[in-house]
Amino acid sequence: MTLRAVVKGVGHYLPERIVPNAEFEASLDTSDEWIRSRSGIERRHFAAEGETTSQMGAQAARAALENAGLTADDIDLIVVATSTADLTFPSAATMVQSELGMTKGFAFDVQAVCAGFVYALTNANALILAGQAKRALVIGAETFSRIMDWEDRGTCVLFGDGAGALVLEAQDGTGEKSDRGILATDLNSDGRYKDILYVDGGVSSQTTGHLRMQGKEVFRHAVEKLAATAHTSMDKAGISSDEVDWVVPHQANIRIIKGTAKKMGVSMDRVVVTVQDHGNTSAASIPLALSVAHSEGKISEGDVIVTEAIGGGLAWGSVVLRW
């Protein structure tokens, strides 16, 4: 028998405040049409004053636990993917653990920016396969509105806040691609490209900083690297493009999403797209999209799903799973 990390539940949380593109027109040289045509984004959510990443992560976790029919006492592990934790330390994950009333197990953060959820999912899967945990909450949560330069129209209109979560459970499988659960993963990074997407501040430099991005350079790397990592994971799982039911990509830019799908050989009617409603929520975007698609009845048990993401670092990767 082969151990598999199987999805038991999914949930998400979005802040109440919805910010349409038109809201930026009063302070920036931009327009709804300009933002839509370049990114596909129509609106995004911003966290309320005092609303934190860990609080949003806990809300998404509660929704995922309810969907799974489980409680916090059933969880052994929490992994939170975030680049915008509440504090330098402790981790947002331990704060979620406390918020849920969970007093056993262990919790930690993963920081790989927009690729964070793929990294978190891969780590949780490895810990389950190693016997370190039976059930895990894997959460992506971000408050990117707190690191925006509101005078930079090329970045501040692209990002939003939110959280999404999956519950994974160890189950026996056959070792075949017909198993439910995570079938294959692939992680990559290349620190030579730090300067095309980063925040110009941090603890060691004693500044807070804002997000900086060379959009054209990021786009140039994104499609090629995302398609390549997706194909690597699919090859590891023995899955062909025709067998993929849904691609659930990082929701950064509709042009990147379409370009990657084309290179993967997957039609857009099999791609989950939520970027128009949420903007780029970094590590939260994949679990958010999974939860929305599931709530809309798109994703069913047995579906083969490919997720892929790229973010600052550069860091990128993919996961193939059967729902």
Q: Tell me, what's the pLDDT at 105? A: 97
| Closest to 11 measured CA to CA, from 96, 105, 112, 123 | 96
| Closest to 59 measured CA to CA, from 277, 298, 299, 284 | 284
Which of the following is catalytic: 45, 114, 156, 253? 114
Active-site residue, 125 included: no
**Radius of gyration (Cα) for the chain, nearest Å?**
18
Q: Tell me, what's the pLDDT at 147? A: 97
Q: Tell me, what's the pLDDT at 22? A: 96
Report residue 156 as tokens.
């501040």
Q: Which residue has the tokens 């806990």?
A: 58
Q: Tell me, what's the pLDDT at 208? A: 87
| Closest to 143 measured CA to CA, from 10, 251, 29, 50 | 50
Q: Tell me, what's the pLDDT at 177? A: 97
| Closest to 147 measured CA to CA, from 53, 223, 10, 74 | 53
Peptide bond connecting 20 to the previous residue in cis, omega within 30 degrees of 0: no
DSSP-based three-state secondary structure for 159: strand
Indicate whether this model's pTM tops 0.75: yes
d(C-alpha 197, C-alpha 186), whole Å: 21
Which of the following is catalytic: 12, 45, 210, 250? 250
Q: Tell me, what's the pLDDT at 120? A: 98
Sign of CA dihedral 288, 109, 90, 99: positive
Q: Tell me, what's the pLDDT at 301? A: 97
Q: pLDDT tens digit string along 172-224?
A: 999 999 999 999 999 999 999 999 999 999 999 988 899 999 999 999 999 99
The 8-class DSSP code of residue 265 comes to T
- Residue 169 C-alpha from the chain's centroid: 19
Active-site residue, 280 included: yes
- In one-letter notation, the amino acid at residue 244 is V
Which of the following is catalytic: 231, 253, 280, 294? 280
Active-site residue, 231 included: no
The ranges of the chain with pLDDT < 70 are none
d(C-alpha 271, C-alpha 127), whole Å: 29
Q: Tell me, what's the pLDDT at 241? A: 97
**Is residue 197 within 8 Å of 213, Cβ to Cβ?**
yes
Q: Where are the alpha helices (DSSP H) in the chain?
A: 32-39, 53-68, 92-100, 116-129, 215-237, 254-264, 275-278, 285-295
Q: What is the residue-averaged pLDDT of the chain?
A: 97
